[in-house]
A = this chain, B = another copy of it.
């Protein structure tokens, strides 16, 4: 691959003023915090966004809602409480009750109305089997779309959910998926595969990179063959490109799509990396992997467990490596990455530009920018 070294690199104006691993997600987006099926009718559920505990409450009837997961009285989790028949949540400790707006409607042992203070309520939506909250300015929530996860519910696709927890900053995940030159990491699962970079596109809030793959040695894994069909490029014979893999970060979400030689979308992955802790160095990913059903759909059903195992193994390799990156960041006290691939440089600029500095972040000194850029 010829690196595009002359175009689309960071200009000085875009150079990050903060260490990328101290840039928080922009809270003014919709972030998934739980699977719908985990929050049962009449129950509360404990979720978390960037150090903020969130109680998700689903009344027996009516939509799920989200409150700060701390009682206004003594700060214990409302998610440990009881959902009453009016759809309010009663704190498990002294029974204070809060409604959908977070107002305290009952302090059971006092006759006064005005004693309980409210707790914060978060805009909350349910879509595609996920519960989303809007952690930023509530006034903006209605103007920001809840993301479309295109193939979920499309009967031509079969979809798998996954939500691993990763001990790393979300930006490592974006970089990992975007840079397909890391296939060397998966040599044990995939054999010898080399990515061929086909091009990139940029916009104000997105970056897309496209690749094809060539097998340079070894056999294609069965699970892979069942999805994509067999490749025929063993023994050094040059093969025409069959599939195109497109990875796209549309801030703050990421997708990976595979189109076959006819241009049909055969795989569609959607993923959102949700920060759990206040420093955003622990990430809860929510992913939906949709695979186009073949003519005989039962073949995909048959292959489904093997496909699950295959993707799990690949993912575990990615998890190990991104967590080692985060560990190195901690040991070194900052980001020492030397990035040479223009796509990743552009991605870093996109993430740095759209995110917001962590409350504990220190601006980079002029000297540090050179190495951390």
Pairwise interchain contact A325-B185, C-beta atoms closer than 8 A: no
> CB within 8 Å of B: which of A40-69?
51, 53
| Other-chain residue from B1, B74, B117 in contact with A110 (beta carbon distance below 8 A) | B1
A113 to chain B, nearest CB (A): 12
A interface bracket (residues with beta carbon within 8 Å of B)? 35 or more
Q: Using Cβ atoms and an 8 Å threshold, which residues of chain B touch A92?
A: 184-185, 321
Alpha-carbon separation in the docked complex, A107 to B340 (Å)? 10
Report how many copies the assembly holds: 3
Q: Tell me which residues across on chain B come within 8 A of A110, comparing CB atoms.
A: 1-3, 340-341
Q: Within A60-82, which residues are at the interface with B (CB < 8 Å)? A: 70, 72-77, 80
> Does A309 make an interface contact (CB < 8 A)?
no
User: Is A111 located at the chain interface by the 8 A CB criterion?
Assistant: yes
Interface centre among A107, A109, A182, A321 (most CB of B within 10 A): A109
* Interface hub of A76, A112, A117 (most chain B Cβ within 10 A): A76
Q: Which residues of B contact A109 (CB under 8 A)?
A: 1, 3, 181, 194-195, 197, 341
Question: Are A340 and B116 interface neighbours, CB within 8 A?
Answer: yes
A367 within 8 A of B: no
**A154 close to B (CB within 8 Å):** no
Docked CA distance A116–B339 (Å): 9
Interface residues in A318-357 by Cβ distance below 8 A to B read 321, 324-325, 328-329, 331-332, 336-341
Determine the distance from Cα of A90 to Cα of B181 in the docked complex, in whole angstroms: 14
Q: Nearest chain B CB to A263's CB is how many angstroms away? A: 26
Query: Residues 102-131 of chain A: 1 if any B CB is under 8 Å from the residue's CB, otherwise 0?
Result: 000001111110011100000000000000
**A108 near B75 (CB under 8 angstroms)?**
no
7 residue pairs from A and B, CB less than 8 Å apart:
A5-B112, A70-B332, A73-B339, A75-B332, A75-B337, A77-B324, A116-B338
